[in-house]
Structure 1
Amino acid sequence: MLGQFGPLTQSARALQNDGSRRTNREGKVCIQVEVLGKAASPWTNGFDPEQKPNFRKLLTAIRAHGIPDVWPAGKPKATAAEVAKTPRNRTTWQSKGGHFSHGQAPGQTHWDPGAINTDIVPGKAASDTGDGGSSSGPDTYTVKKGDTLSAIAKAYGTTVAKLVSLNGLKDADELSVGQKLKVPAQAKPAAQYEPFPGAAFFHGGRHSPIITAMGRRLVAEGCSAYVGGPGPDWTNSDKASYRKWQVKYSKEHNKGWTGDALDGIPGKESWDALRVPKG
């Protein structure tokens, strides 16, 4: 069962203030989710998201507000004793978007929710470093069609020279589709592109800037069926345009594409390949 007690754009009141700071109002949005359960037996044990449509809708709504699939302060701790040993880093809380447990928010006395599975509440957890920060080791980026080293450097907050050095490249033009590049993990943004919001997101009546951004990418890919627009409302023109993209993407993968259906409703594989810019 899923119940909503207030608009997602208005902060709830389940967090204590951190001294004089109004913790509930940190960030662009502050969505608080309460789960009825026991921290000693995390609610994600045996939980199957595929059998929980309301849970999937909740994640879709969270992503639609630009909250990335990451855990900036690391995986939630299993016990109160572990939480007590780990500082609730204020800088991480105030500067990094993503998922946080109650036990990671500064100014709180609660330690829940226990060691929940961060694959189910999706997101890459930062490596624990004692202060809730992340390790400084390199991450990996897979080069996609149309990528340039300068664009990748900008997205990861670094320089072309550093990427050339980090990867042992001879020059900045030494790129090929599918190539794995080392990138500075500490400089990686929460998300460069809009994460897939789920097929259920796309229906008549949906109004979102994500749809506008998607439409502009479809036009750029030569897959437009628009007469006017694109705009923020999901329409038959969006559906027809997206089907053109699905067909194009399928033909480019002449191995016989087995991704989402060619029905104009976005699926994760074709969505990720479209690379819709994050607003």
Structure 2
Amino acid sequence: METTVSDLWMPGAERFSIGNTAPADGGPAKAIAHITWDRNASKAKPQDLVPYANLRSYFGDNVSGRAVAPHLLWDPFTGKVVQFFPANSRSLSLSDRAGGTRTNRAGSVVIQVEALFFPWCRVGGKTYESLVDTPCKGWDGLHAWVASWGVADCWPMGKPNGFVSKRDERIWRIRSGWYAHSQVPENDHTDPGTWADFTVNKVKPALEPFPGTSFFMSGSKPALGKSSSIFTAMGQRLVAEGCGLYKEGPGPELGQADIDSYEKFQRKLGYTGPDAKWPPGPASWAALEVPNV
């Protein structure tokens, strides 16, 4: 599968590479939801939100901040996002005890998102008790990019609802999806309290989102015989691109002609060797422009 630099960095986000990259360990793709929780406010005593620029500088320029930096800092009030690590690197926002699960690396990706927020913060004269009370600007684009890395649209330990801890290391080991900071083994934080819905302000895109590498595979082999309207739409686009090698079809069952045709399309894009082989990757899928089905 091909991997390109543009895939590693969220489109539209500021790229602020701080180096110190390291690979993930493999396993179910995960995303971790945090809030920055910079101040302790209350309903009786709300406090002004810490400026986005302060947190950007803390994680990007400060030695202490770099030691706990996430992949992404997201401002749900403005939609601004800055990214400090590429998607395929571990970041550092989780506590990681020696000898246990390597929390920051426990997946094919472990994408960590810090939302700029604390309970009872004040923005523009208005007070916000929970993250879901904010406009959640930029969430749809952020969510789509995370999903493109194979992170399932689910909360394996339950969607966060309050500042409580719930940890199950067995689930953590075997399930892809979104996890609250409060649900990660070896961590004692209780954030984020709440999080945006996967469907918030969601408009069906014109193009089929990348369904993740696992969609195209059955273990280590192509998922031959799997049926989906996505394969039909994919095959039709491959034909339109002059790469169709079909005697019949395409679709809806995945067949060898689909694989041969897609590999021909990847060669057309300039990929060679293993990068031109099945399964599809996010970059070539985006280039194919498969209509949303």
* TM-score (normalised: structure 1): 0.46
Greater relative contact order structure (CA < 8 Å, 6+ sep): 2
**Greater strand fraction, Structure 1 or Structure 2:** 2
